[in-house]
């Protein structure tokens, strides 16, 4: 009788411990979802024969060297950089889908994120939804293949005098070099030429009170900035295609 009661007590304690661990895991998942907008992939996705996709969202304003007001919807670059390092190192992730709806933001931070995306060894596909403005342009073209929704827009304009680097005397030469870095990155990661991108950036006839150009959906494709018009299904199918191509290449090398 005593042994039976002891076993029941141990079983009860184990159930309480399991429940406590499960609650902690749930709290951790909620915290990650709240802070990063990320959640774990469901278990059945790991059995997907087409490949396992990680979704990376870049929305609102890119927050870099300056902390933005709490009411601003932001994407923090100090969150994205370690995420991408983890993605590159995770053998269960076959490809990355990047969903973009950003007004731009910190130029240095945005360019750093763009460079990280471009340097990923795994297949990447971006989809511009709503807008990919300012430094959002390099972010959109950093992937292996890019899509834009028909109603989405992209604003191309020169580097501004704010939101770049704090504590440094801003000079024309510095901004000119920063602008050249952006132009070179966009030209190297899309089909648009440096000359054409500069022309769009410095156009004085498109915006009433500003310098630059707004491209809507198909116009971004016609300018060879974005690869294709499409939505979520097209972007995912393209990513699965790139994943299969990579798997075939790796199997041949083995």
Supply the residues annotated as catalytic: 134, 157
- C-alpha span between 205 and 241 (Å, rounded): 40
Contact call for residues 133 and 107 (beta carbons, < 8 A): no
Tokens 């951790």 locate to 28
Rg (CA), the chain: 23
């Amino acid at each position: 009788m005593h042994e039976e009661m002891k076993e029941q007590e141990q079983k009860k304690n184990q159930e309480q411990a399991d429940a406590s661990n499960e609650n902690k895991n749930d709290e951790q998942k909620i915290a990650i979802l709240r802070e990063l907008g990320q959640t774990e992939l469901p278990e059945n996705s790991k059995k997907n024969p087409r490949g396992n996709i990680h979704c990376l969202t870049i929305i609102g304003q890119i927050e870099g060297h300056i902390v933005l007001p709490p009411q601003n919807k932001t994407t923090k670059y100090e969150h994205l950089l370690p995420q991408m390092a983890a993605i590159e190192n995770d053998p269960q992730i076959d490809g990355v889908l990047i969903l973009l709806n950003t007004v731009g933001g910190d130029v240095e931070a945005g360019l750093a994120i763009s460079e990280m995306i471009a340097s990923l060894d795994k297949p990447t596909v971006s989809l511009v939804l709503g807008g990919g403005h300012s430094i959002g342009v390099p972010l959109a073209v950093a992937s292996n293949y890019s899509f834009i929704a028909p109603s989405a827009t992209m604003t191309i304009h020169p580097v501004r005098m704010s939101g770049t680097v704090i504590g440094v005397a801003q000079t024309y030469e510095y901004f000119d070099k920063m602008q050249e870095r952006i132009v070179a990155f966009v030209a190297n990661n899309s089909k648009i030429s440096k000359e054409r991108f500069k022309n769009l950036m410095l156009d004085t006839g498109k915006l009433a009170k500003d310098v630059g150009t707004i491209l809507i959906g198909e116009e971004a494709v016609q300018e060879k900035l974005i690869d294709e018009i499409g939505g979520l299904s097209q972007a995912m199918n393209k990513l699965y295609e790139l994943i299969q191509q990579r798997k075939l290449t790796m199997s041949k090398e083995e």
